[in-house]
Structure 1
Amino acid sequence: MDALPETVPFFSQWETPDMTMAVLADGAEVALRRDPLWRGSGAETLEEYAVWAANICGMACLKMILASRGEIVPTIELARRCTGYGGYVVNEGSIRGLIYAPFVSFVKEVFGLRAEVMTNVATADIPAILERQRFFIASVSSSIRWPEREPPSKGGHLVLVTATSDKGFRFHNPSGHTSATQANAVLAPADFDRFFANRGIAVAI
């Protein structure tokens, strides 16, 4: 891979990054009640953390983008603020989102980021997107953490693509289950394509 122009900090969507396998085994609302670092999320209660943390891969991506320019904002604080713009819809404990268009408005107005919703994106288009913008938040299957497997579907999870080359795409996965599948994970374009839902958000800082 080509060297990155600067280091992009990694943050998991869980405050304890190695919680992924417990979440998969027991469910988020059960497993995340055992996360000793939950207060770092910005949640006011453990219950709030356990509900939100399974739904904030997009906020983890945003936290990484902001951290790349020196700002650290807790994920659930970001989620609350994004909800105010319509980026999430909360109804009796269920959470729908991330909704892309309100997210774009949110990051522009609150953080001065230039962002663009992109659909019908071919995997081969991503290198050109990153030539124009610094980051691409890509919609992928959460099973991208197991690249040797065939995904049951595409989309439903967000990862932060930070660099590309002929050899592959480099990305941070907020719900990776090992260090190799969390920060600076690398997949060949053909493998990334198996998980990619052909949509996402390009972000400049």
Structure 2
Amino acid sequence: MTPPAVIHPVPYYAQWESADLVPRIIAGELDAREDPLWQKSGAASAEEYAFWSWRLCGVACLRMALDHWGQPVPPALAVAEECVAAGAYVRRGDRVDGLIYAPFAEYVSARWPLRAESRPELPAPEVREAVTAGALVMLSVHPSIRDLPRTPPTRGGHLVLAVGVTAEALIIHNPSGFPPHTQRFAEIPWPALPRFYAARGIILSEWSQTVK
């Protein structure tokens, strides 16, 4: 029997404030400091915004989930600061360690009426089960997942949000995807997923949900 298709109507957030400019920023054609919407991030300066914007994929995923479940959505840099305080990001000068799953999951569960489960091992079938049950799943994938024909050198390193499943594909919102096809409700065929997916992530759900 073919599993049912489930696609949750999750709003989209990029890790940069101007989602339409993501391709130019990633290509180096536009410095993130020139993002005309940078102040919406809550950063104190364009320089602070540019520094953090490259590291906000996990924050973007969380903000999508908050919006989906009707929770207040803080500015991106406010969330990043709270993650630093919680130990989910560790800043070392010009370098940031993280997102660190366990403290991030504890922070989310304490901060909002959500359940966040850190899963160092999360096989694709369990992602399908969780999304089908109503959860959203933050997945560690290689950032080149926006370009499916590629074979990346490694798996992981970037977080996307699984928002749906069909018999043929996992449906994701990619905080660093390119419009119009790889940002919102991008289809990742199940056979292609293992090339990018590090088989770890974070399951997000409402407290009222029961997720296996």
Is TM (by shorter chain) over 0.5?
yes
Offset at 1:132? 4.3
Residue 12 of structure 2 contacts residue 184 of structure 2 at CA under 8 Å; is this kept in 1? Answer: yes
Greater shift, 65-74 or 50-59, is seen at 65-74
Matches within 5 A, 1:1-205: 2-4=5-7, 6-26=8-28, 31-70=31-70, 71-132=72-133, 134-205=135-206
Question: Distance between the aligned counterparts of 2:179 and 2:155, measured in 1?
Answer: 21
Residue 133 of structure 1 contacts residue 202 of structure 1 at CA under 8 Å; is this kept in 2? Answer: no
Structure 1: any 5+ residue segments left out of the alignment? Answer: none
SS at match of 1:179: coil
TM-score (norm 1): 0.92
TM-score (norm 2): 0.90
Residue 63 of structure 1 contacts residue 73 of structure 1 at CA under 8 Å; is this kept in 2? Answer: yes
Structure 2: any 5+ residue segments left out of the alignment? Answer: 207-212
Residue 87 of structure 2 contacts residue 100 of structure 2 at CA under 8 Å; is this kept in 1? Answer: yes
Q: Report percent identity of matched pairs.
A: 37
Residue 6 of structure 2 contacts residue 131 of structure 2 at CA under 8 Å; is this kept in 1? Answer: no
Question: Distance between the aligned counterparts of 1:127 and 1:140, measured in 2?
Answer: 16
Question: Distance between the aligned counterparts of 1:7 and 1:164, measured in 2?
Answer: 12
Residue 136 of structure 1 contacts residue 200 of structure 1 at CA under 8 Å; is this kept in 2? Answer: yes
Residue 19 of structure 1 contacts residue 32 of structure 1 at CA under 8 Å; is this kept in 2? Answer: no
Structure with the bigger percentage of helix: 1
Greater shift, 53-62 or 71-80, is seen at 71-80
Deviations 1:136-178 (A, max 9, x none): 1000000000011111211000000011121111110000012
Offset at 1:133? 5.2
Q: Between Structure 1 and Structure 2, how many residues are aligned? A: 202
Residue 86 of structure 1 contacts residue 103 of structure 1 at CA under 8 Å; is this kept in 2? Answer: yes
Code of the residue aligned with 1:91 in structure 2: it is R
Offset at 1:3? 5.0
